[in-house]
Amino acid sequence: MTSIDHDGELDARALAALATPADGTLAQLHRRLEADAEKAGVLDLAYTTIDTPVGPLLLAATVQGLVRVAFEREGFDAVLGLLAAKISPRILRAPQRLDTAARQLDEYFAGVRTGFDLPLDYSLSSGFRQLVQRHLPAIAYGHTESYREVAQSVGSPKAVRAVGTACATNPLPVVVPCHRVLRTDGTLGGYIGGLEAKSTLLNLEKAAA
């Protein structure tokens, strides 16, 4: 009899058990929320994750387009937290907006796609970095350029280090091919996804080209 004097603890458990929905109800409601939010125009950021030969990738898109591709080593929670701070906290896992991007990435990793045809949102970078990142898709599939060559292409031949920084801070790796930029001596340089991922991408393109 003492347990019922415990501020309704027992009642709370019975009530919670009673009010708990069937399995799958919340997942169903989540999908409905994704669709409702998209329709109402309040889904500022939609994201999903996909499995690839370079590990799971997080894809995030605003209504303008794909805004972020992240490698698992960056920490997906950290990336989402940054997106919440920099763009908007109105974020849902809503794979539908990423369907086309996910399909094109699948095709790319299968070696049957050599370029991406996707609306991109470059709003996470600005100035010179964005200028460099917008240039990178001009480096053809299966080809590479040196940091120096990229600096020349964007009209700032002395800004080799800044090109390196622009590549290192590319918010859209794989899709915006910073992996095609190497050191002048042909060694890999750095990569946000790790050097192993960089060589995997380069080898994939060499094999398929």
- In the complex with another protein, the residue whose CB is nearer, 80 or 105, is 80
Complex with another protein: residue 49 or 156, whichever CB lies closer: 49
Nearer to another protein by Cβ, of 34 and 205: the residue is 34
**Which is nearer to another protein, 32 or 143 (by Cβ)?**
32
Nearer to another protein, 3 or 126 (CB): 3
Q: What is the largest CA-CA distance in the chain?
A: 83
Distance of closest approach, residue 114 Cβ to another protein, in angstroms:
33
The answer to whether 201 and 54 have CB atoms below 8 angstroms apart is yes
Cα 142–67–108 angle (5° rounding)?
Answer: 30
Interacting residues toward another protein by CB under 8 A? 4, 8, 10-22, 25-26, 29-30, 32-33, 36-37, 40, 42-43, 45, 47, 80-81, 83-85, 88-93
Q: At what angle do helices 160-168 and 127-135 cross, to 10 degrees?
A: 80
Q: Are 67 and 123 in contact (CB under 8 A)?
A: yes
Q: Minimum Å distance from CB 39 to another protein?
A: 9
Cβ 174 to another protein shortest distance, Å: 22
Q: Nearest approach, Cβ of 80 to another protein (angstroms)?
A: 5
> Which residue numbers are catalytic?
178
Shortest Å, Cβ 190 to another protein:
28
